[in-house]
Amino acid sequence: MSTGNATSYDKKSVKDVEVKGKKVLLRCDFNVPLDKETGEITDEGRIVAALPTINYLLEQGAAVIACSHFGRPKGEFRSEFSLAPVAVCLAKHLGKPVKMAKDVIGSDAVSLAKGLQPGEIMLIENTRFHKEEEKNDPEFAKKLADMADIFVSDAFGSVHRAHASTEGVSHYLPAVSGFLLKKELDHIGGAISAPKRPLVAILGGAKVSDKLGVINNLMKIADSIIIGGGMAYTFFKAQGGRIGNSLCEDNEIENVLKMLENAKTRGVKLLLPVDSIAGSEFSNNTEPKTVLSNEIPDGMMALDIGPKAVEAFVNEIIAAKTVVWNGPMGVFEFSKFAEGTKAVANAVAQSHAISIIGGGDSAAAVRKFGLEDKITHISTGGGASLEFMEGKILPGIACLLDA
């Protein structure tokens, strides 16, 4: 029904459609962590994050049929992957009952959905109880869609996947974003399509191969690219440096050389960490030593960026008007090698730039240092935000109605 412009991030949201008296299929991200022994939810963050969209829909007089995937039940009904504990938690936060269906598209879900009144909410079972979910099977998607009049997508962490509950249903229902997804679209979409300049991209983490796509896309958009973390050392090796036992992906050397060339041609400033903090083993017990990043002694490995690198990176970040950051500068999980990541996190927090942090480890680092309140936007989707910044078409966004 609704296939929107694949490359536009300007999409209709719940506020742009009439939901009163309508049945709304709401795709949430209720993939919450459970205590393995007690089965209790150990972090309710994702459920709490879904409340604004749910409350808005209920207040507007919609009947909400919520759905989500949960873990990897591999296409089978398995009680340990039931969303029932989520329904209990959701009801607690909403202060009203959440009707829990015993199935996904079976007779229980269908009859509950049929009887659902405006202002009421139900939750269907884990969409991944059917293997058709991940295959984006059209018949399965139609059955999901048949329960509702409108599809609202609010699970950013899943929009890079073309599954029945993230994309398939949009072929049968008008599809719009919820508030959580809209926030991601506005912030990440805004930063990559119309950034305030200078735009400084900070990329780190272990592997260059994971970030090649992002670096190549940001090369077309950013004014400067800062590269730190384990991935930096492939760049030093590519340029003939000695990197000891530091992380290196030899099969990416050609790509890295192309990237360096590309940056020159495009006039993009590419900053690598001139110095590093190295240790003799991958451990917090090793003695840290400051070394030049292209002269790392044999038997040592770089585990963090050094003080000169920090100074250069911080100066660049402070002058930015937009910062996007994905990946730590070092092994920040080890206290002795966390300083580089901490300094970069502080600079991002203190800058007056619009700051956007991809999910995953950089988000964890910002939280660890207690800086999350000073960041414009911390994405809820690690993989999705990376693919977004790579400029890929994300099926769960492309399928939404254009604004």
The catalytic residues are 46, 207, 360, 383
Cis bond upstream, residue 198 (ω within 30): yes
Instruction: Give the nearer residue to ligand AMP in terms of CB position, either 134 or 361.
Output: 361
Cβ-based nearer residue to ligand AMP, 230 or 244:
230
Q: How far is the CB of 284 from ligand AMP (least distance, A)?
A: 11
Q: Of 136, 137, 134, 171, which Cα lies nearest the Cα of 151?
A: 171
C-beta of residue 336 within 8 angstroms of C-beta of residue 367: no
Please, what is the minimum distance in Å from the beta carbon of residue 229 to ligand AMP? 4
Q: With respect to ligand AMP, which residue has the nearer C-beta, 207 or 242?
A: 207
Among 62, 310, 331, 354, binds ligand AMP (CB under 6 A): 331
Would you say 50 or 317 has its CB closer to ligand AMP?
317
Contact 24, 147 (CB under 8 A): no
3-state secondary structure at position 227 = strand
Check: CB of residue 95 under 8 Å from CB of residue 70.
Answer: no
279 binds ligand AMP (CB under 6 A): no
Considering only residues 123, 302, 317, 389, which one is a binding residue for ligand AMP as defined by CB under 6 A? 302
Among 306, 330, 359, 381, binds ligand AMP (CB under 6 A): 330
Rg of the chain over CA atoms, in angstroms?
Answer: 23
Give the residue, chosen from 44, 103, 146, 333, that forms a contact with ligand AMP under the rule CB under 6 A: 333
Nearer to ligand AMP, 73 or 205 (CB): 205
3-class secondary-structure state, position 386? helix
Residues 218-277 that bind ligand AMP (CB under 6 A): 229-230, 247
Stretch that binds ligand AMP, among 57-65, 67-75, 137-145, 204-212 (CB under 6 A): 204-212
Other residues' Cβ atoms within 10 Å of the Cβ of residue 50: 24
The first and second tokens of residue 189, run together, are: 């979409």
Which span sits near ligand AMP by CB under 6 A: 112-120, 185-193, 328-336, 347-355? 328-336
Q: Which of 273, 328, 359, 396 binds ligand AMP (CB under 6 A)?
A: 328
Element (H, E) at 51: helix 45-59
3-class DSSP assignment, residue 50:
helix
> Does 206 contact ligand AMP by CB under 6 A?
yes
Q: Are strands 150-153 and 269-271 parallel, antiparallel or unpaired?
A: unpaired
Closest approach, Cβ 340 to ligand AMP, in A, equals 9
> Are the C-beta atoms of residues 283 and 336 closer than 8 Å to each other?
no
Q: In whole angstroms, how far apart are CA 339 and each of 111, 178, 213, 309, 355?
A: 56, 37, 27, 11, 20
Q: Given the rule CB under 6 A, which of 216-224, 248-256, 262-270, 324-332 is the region that contacts ligand AMP?
A: 324-332
Structure tokens at 243: 């990197």
Residues in 29-48 at the binding interface with ligand AMP, rule: CB under 6 A: none
Half-sphere exposure of 179 (CA within 13 A, CB side): 11
Question: Between residues 207 and 308, which has the closer beta carbon with respect to ligand AMP?
Answer: 207
In this chain, which stretch among 71-79, 322-330, 342-350, 394-402 interacts with ligand AMP, using CB under 6 A?
Answer: 322-330
Q: How many residues bind ligand AMP (CB under 6 A)?
A: 16
Question: Using CB under 6 A, which of the segments 6-14, 169-177, 201-209, 366-374 binds ligand AMP?
Answer: 201-209
CB-based burial, 242-257: b 16+ in 10 Å, e otherwise: ebbbbbbbeebbebbe
Q: Cβ closer to ligand AMP: 169 or 203?
A: 203
Q: Is the dihedral of CA 17, 20, 21, 24 positive or negative?
A: positive
User: For residues 352-371, which are near ligand AMP according to CB under 6 A?
Assistant: 360-361
CA-to-CA distance for 21 and 231, rounded, in angstroms?
53
Q: Which phi and psi angles does 202 have, rounded to 5°?
A: -115, 120
> Which residues lie near ligand AMP (CB under 6 A)?
205-207, 210, 229-230, 247, 302-303, 327-328, 330-331, 333, 360-361
